[in-house]
Structure 1
């Protein structure tokens, strides 16, 4: 049996990887009366009078909606809502196994952004938080922005905030290894979609000002109408020189301290790495194939190498962020995943690595302390916000 056949057999045997378990045992009329009718009438009337009590008396207080339209699945592209379901089902499994969080996968059709917002808003009373997944840019920016404005529960896009948090954590420790001050490092980000733009914004908020953004047409500038308004607006905030329009990665990689790739395979060459500053940092995070082969990058002088793959050291993976993040959100009552919180989580992740080396700048996805550290970072941040 091939590996593919084994995976298909496993998922088919269970009709997926999730189930629903009951928290109450119903073995008598008395049990039935308390768990269901007539007992639920007491709960219903109380919640009708005070709607916020639904979070105390129903699972809405501990349930996360995992929502995708399958328009930007990592490594697979636009495979549609049904195709995106296995991904969010897997993440729901990780939520439960790693953090004890209940999450339910929901696929929505690829309708206009306002319709997606309306759909999620209309079902939001059933949930304590919204986790968006694999929704293409720029619609994902609009969807998250509007949901944050209209909902009073946390809204989180894993491809944006999750990626940004783990990249920042990795760069914090990579700079320790290379003797750099991250705030003064020159960083080029190749691939300015959902993940790339969110990462750039978080790095900027964390104090990194020397940022160069490169996408399919070259350096992103405020004047380049080929880029969307979110990309152009941030290029304007960075003060990117108009003269850099149409400049390619090869034109701007020289004298950079760090390369962060969230783009496509084989877009960075050994000769380009050699033009970077001494002891360069290379995060080649494209999956399944990185922007540059790690052996090639290291052979060209890379001091710290990270990828998105478990095949190599320093796997930058969102699993390091989202389970503990939502555990903390639900436990603290915090409503927004803002930049300050993201920096706090990234710092906690970086601190989880006890002995930082070139081959260990982020903790293993199996490190049992990760969820604890991230959860505590969220709780501490929430306490600080309430002061």
Structure 2
């Protein structure tokens, strides 16, 4: 109701509402409408005998009597003349198109009887093209289903040990659902319903029944309302409670909620070279709403504003920078020229390169005008990473850049590297890849246990490839003796504690590894994709390691939630580097 009235531009205290049905559901809904702001005198209710009106002969129970108003209407047809809202909680065919035709301008029709509604949407459309329609069925837009309420109201009530479900808790659930419908709908949810894009409006007033975000919005709202109204026996920390709820939706969501919460504690500026991409704009809105960063969109302002307007996306608190007209162009061209002048780049060519968002964004990070860069949703990996390597380059201590994926299974998390950059790394490079991986894994609050993989177990096969991996282990141990790392070893050895304990008791690894370093890019890239597709792991990445400043690359075609997740990773990377500079 709240969202429908917003769409038609009507005030809740002025609308006239007609109910078909006067049972427990109708009376409860009508009372809830009164609490939302509908005036009781503006509600007409009809049962099998017709309109319930003041002075109607015969017995009337006290619940119906509360809605016995002064009116000349005696039938549902009479009541609907000039009405703004129809709520059907009765039976199929209770009203006709002729009745709907006589309703007020831009009427709202909630025909909620199941399986056949009081009137079908096509019958409404035939007489009122300006109507907003909802039913109880999943094969029409705006499905009203109690599955959106009861499970999550009870979840919130039980988690704070509420002594009752009071009106404040119901109201909190109502407003949480109304607010969620205005949020950007994840691609994964849209695809679940066979839709490409879903936006708040007449065809989408209420969240989908199987949108997993409903749990994360309704349960905390209900729990906090229980606390605020004094019926909760236990207090909750809302941030921690949301983390727990995310974990119930799957380990990957729980992990990402923890990462996002860490990002929120010290937000950073993230520059997006593909600022005109609709997915990037949607992700930027979510980043601002989460409070984890300040997005900077690169692109032509008019194009960005047009895409945002088409998607009904607010650009509040989102910065826009046009590389073609920016006041920073001369400063950035000087920086880029000085950086690349001995690589054959002229000053004029530096100016031209800055029309490329990846070059402009990389210089922006290098000059301290942004804290991190995130790009790649609409281009191949090399197109994204090459400008960053030329402008920012690898960390002096790392010397090489590598890619890491986090793979989240139901019971454990595995990091795989290098999966994206180095085709045939040397022993020294493998050691560096493993070391860089260990640092980022520690940043996520996980103790790294590293397995250097091969087709050989501790010298069982004498071959240069296996020996290369063994040398990498020796190099890494010398660099950081405290690291838990061993190899060369086969993948099953790394993942099976029994093999480690019984066949190789001398191994530094006593538990299954959580960081897998592959001997070459073919092995790493193939393995992580098989684990994702066949093993059912949720992948988070690629996380770019070894850069001198925070730069991260998106998978081509990444969806909006993937972009938000990687933005959180980029923020944490920037936080960690800032902390290290402070310590120094």
User: TM-score band (shorter)?
Assistant: 0.5 to 0.7
Aligned mates of 1:227, 1:351 — CA distance in 2: 41
- Is the contact made by 1:192 and 1:231 (CA closer than 8 Å) also made in structure 2? no
Partner of 1:325: 153
For structure 2, list consecutive stretches of 5 or more residues without a partner in the other structure: 184-198, 232-584
Deviation at 1:248, TM superposition (A): 0.4
Deviation at 1:357, TM superposition (A): 0.8
- Is the contact made by 2:88 and 2:111 (CA closer than 8 Å) also made in structure 1? yes
- How many residue pairs get aligned? The number is 212
CA-based RMSD of the aligned residues comes to 1.8
Partner of 2:70: 241
> What SS does the aligned partner of 1:256 have?
coil
Q: Mapping of 1:113-192 within 5 angstroms?
A: 171-192=1-22
Query: Does the C-alpha gap of structure 1 residues 230 and 292 become closer, same or farther in structure 2, counting only changes over 3 Å?
Result: same
Matched, 1:344 2:197: no
Deviation at 1:226, TM superposition (A): 4.4
Aligned mates of 2:64, 2:22 — CA distance in 1: 11
Greater RCO, CA 8 A, separation 6+: 1
Matched, 1:260 2:64: no
- Is the contact made by 1:328 and 1:378 (CA closer than 8 Å) also made in structure 2? yes
Query: Does the C-alpha gap of structure 1 residues 278 and 343 become closer, same or farther in structure 2, counting only changes over 3 Å?
Result: same
1:187-242 residue CA offsets vs partner (Å, 9 max, x unmatched): 10110111111111111122101111111111113543545413333125xxx016
Aligned mates of 1:345, 1:226 — CA distance in 2: 38
Partner of 1:308: 136
Aligned mates of 1:227, 1:378 — CA distance in 2: 38
For structure 1, list consecutive stretches of 5 or more residues without a partner in the other structure: 1-170
Runs of 4+ deviating beyond 6 Å: none
Query: Does the C-alpha gap of structure 1 residues 329 and 291 become closer, same or farther in structure 2, counting only changes over 3 Å?
Result: same
Query: Does the C-alpha gap of structure 1 residues 227 and 373 become closer, same or farther in structure 2, counting only changes over 3 Å?
Result: farther
> What SS does the aligned partner of 2:102 have?
coil
- Is the contact made by 2:153 and 2:170 (CA closer than 8 Å) also made in structure 1? no
Aligned mates of 1:224, 1:303 — CA distance in 2: 32
Q: TM-score, normalised by structure 1?
A: 0.52
> What SS does the aligned partner of 2:211 have?
coil
Q: TM-score, normalised by structure 2?
A: 0.35
Question: Of Structure 1 and Structure 2, which has the larger fraction of its residues in helix?
Answer: 1
Deviation at 1:335, TM superposition (A): 2.0
Partner of 2:100: 273
Once structures 1 and 2 are overlaid, which stretch shifts more, 322-331 or 354-363? 354-363
Aligned mates of 1:252, 1:186 — CA distance in 2: 10
Partner of 1:97: none
Matched, 1:369 2:213: yes
1:66-114 residue CA offsets vs partner (Å, 9 max, x unmatched): xxxxxxxxxxxxxxxxxxxxxxxxxxxxxxxxxxxxxxxxxxxxxxxxx
Partner of 1:133: none
Aligned mates of 2:77, 2:56 — CA distance in 1: 19
